[in-house]
Amino acid sequence: MNLTYKRATLEDIDVLTETRVEVLRAANKLPDDTDMSEVKKQSYDYYKKALRDGTHIAYLIFEGERLAGAGGVSFFQIMPTYHNPSGKKAYIMNMYTHPDYRRRGIAYKTLDLLVKDAKSMGITDISLEATDMGRPLYEKYGFVKMNHEMELPECLVCC
């Protein structure tokens, strides 16, 4: 298997956007006919801005011309804390391996590239949201379950 790990650029925005939609369909178990047009548009706009300003790094993994996988990391700033004096944070997302390429170490290597990119920027606070399928990979890498965060459900935000 001859794989190429490519750091995405603006030229890859269409592939990134399509992959994002595919990841969301799979993670949320959405039927193929679910309207994802708004998500697609917003994802395209996000990549266009974030790849330009450096608040997102993505990798695309190819075997020849065929997409084998992808992964990304978003960077953001919060107020400084005792445990994170810089306030810089990284959030791993959009991890995907095509079913034909699973169980070959692609996701692990992609995750490693993303974590190393975050560390090279001085970021030590790295988190992610794991699906049941992805959880063993992240645990193997060293990620641990968080105990102190809470979230306000969307239904309470919008009402």
User: Could you tell me the fold of the domain covering 3-141?
Assistant: Aminopeptidase (3.40.630)
Q: What are the b/e assignments for 3-36, b being 16+ CB within 10 Å?
A: beeeebeeebbebbbebbbbbbeeeeeeeeeeeb
Residue of 108, 102, 94 lying closest to 43 (CA atoms): 94
Supply the pLDDT for residue 159: 61
Residue 150 has pLDDT above 90, yes or no: no
- Range of weakest confidence among 118-122, 132-136, 152-156: 152-156
Q: Quick one: average pLDDT of 128-150?
A: 91
Supply the pLDDT for residue 147: 83
Residue of 97, 93, 91 lying closest to 5 (CA atoms): 97
Q: How confident is the model at residue 146 (pLDDT cuts 50, 70, 90)?
A: confident
Residues 68, 106 contacting (CB under 8 angstroms): yes
**To the nearest whole number, what is the mean pLDDT of the chain?**
94
Domain borders along the chain are 3-141
Cα separation, 17 vs 49, in Å, equals 13
User: What does the angle CA 134 – CA 70 – CA 149 come to, to the nearest 5 degrees?
Assistant: 45
Supply the pLDDT for residue 149: 82
Residue 158 has pLDDT above 80, yes or no: no
Supply the pLDDT for residue 86: 94
Supply the pLDDT for residue 157: 67
Q: What is the pLDDT of residues 30-87, one digit of tens each?
A: 999 999 999 999 999 999 999 999 999 999 999 999 999 999 999 999 999 999 999 9
